[in-house]
Amino acid sequence: MFTYPDIDPIAVAIGPLRVHWYGLMYLAGFLAAWWLARRRVAQPGSTWTYEQVDDLIFHAMLGVVLGGRVGYLVFYGQDRIAEDWRYIYRLWEGGMSFHGGLIGVLVAIALFARTTGKRVGDVFDFMAPLPAVGLGAGRLGNFINGELWGKPTDAAYGFLVQTPGGAQVLHASQLYEATLEGLVLFVLLWAYTASPRPRWAPSGVFLLAYGVFRFLIEFVRVPDAQLGYLASGWFTMGQLLTAPMILMGLVLLWLAYRRDEPTGNLAAR
C-alpha cells in the first residue's frame, strides 16, 4: 500500500501569479505532440511540411481546450455551474472531458484539412499517435490534483487517501489511465504508424484501443457524484460515451483494410 503524498497542485507561485501542475501537463502534451509530429515530417517520403504541423497543432490545441471544457460542462459539470458560474473558466481546478475534447479536435482537424487541401482521413491518421502523451500527462495532472480516485481496494498497490469520510485505500485509477491511455497507447500507435497503413486504419486503431482501455478502467473508477451509475449498478457515463468509439474503431479498421487505399501521408513510390 502507498500513501498519497498530498501534492500541492500549484507548481509555481510568484505573487498573484499561480502556475498549476494541471496546466503544465497540458502544455507538456501539446509540446510532445508538436515534437513527435515534426519527427514524422522528417520521415522519408513525408508529404507534410513543418509549417503544416505548426498549424495542425494550433488547431488541435483550440479543439482540445474548447471541446474538452465544453464537453465536461455539458456531460458532468452542470451542478458545479449552478453553484458558481465562474467554474466555467476555472480550468486549473480540473474538469476536462476526453470525449468533448475529441469532438473539438475532430472539428478543428476537419477545418484544417479543408484549408490545406488534405484528405480528412490522412490528417486523422497523421494525428493518431500524437494525443497519447497528452492523455497520459493529463491523468498525471488528475493524480497531482488528488481527483478522480478509483474505488476502495485491498490491493497492495492501492493508495491511502484522506477523504471527507476518513482515510481509505483507493485504486489510483488516474495512474492506470496514464499508463494505458498514455504510455501503452502511444507505443502501440507509434509502432503501428511507423510503416504505411491503409487510409483510416491508424484512426481506427486509436479509437478501438482507447475505447477498450477507457471502458475497462471505468470498472475501478468512481462515477461523478452528480451522475452516479447510469444502469445496472456499474454502467457509467464514461462507458456510454466510449462504447461508440469502440464500434467506430472496428468499422474503420474493417473498411480501411477492405478498401486498402494508400495513405496520402507518404509519397507513392
Instruction: Show the cell assigned to 14.
Output: 510568484
pLDDT digits (tens, 9 = 90+) for 1-18: 899 988 888 888 887 788
The b/e string for 216-238 (b: 16+ C-beta within 10 A; e otherwise) is ebbebbbbbeeeeeeeeeeebbb
* 187 pLDDT above the threshold of 90: yes
Could you give the CA distance from residue 10 to residue 71 in angstroms, rounded to a whole number? 25
Between residues 135 and 235, the one the model is more confident about: 135
Antiparallel, parallel or unpaired: β 159-163 and 166-170: antiparallel
Q: What is the DSSP string of 89-112?
A: G-GGG----HHHHHHHHHHHHHHH
The answer to whether 160 touches 168, Cβ cutoff 8 Å, is: yes
User: Given this model, what pLDDT does residue 192 score?
Assistant: 97
Give the least confident one: 159-173, 180-194, 222-236, 253-267: 222-236
Residue 91 has pLDDT above 80, yes or no: no
Phi, psi at residue 218, to the nearest 5°?
Answer: -60, -25
Residue 173 is placed in which grid cell? 485509477
* Residue appearing with cell numbers 454502467: 235
Section 87-105 average pLDDT: 71
- Which pTM does this prediction carry? 0.85
Q: What is the pLDDT of residues 203-243, one digit of tens each?
A: 999 999 999 999 999 999 887 665 666 666 667 878 888 99
- Angle in degrees, CA 131, 135, 136, rounded to 5: 120
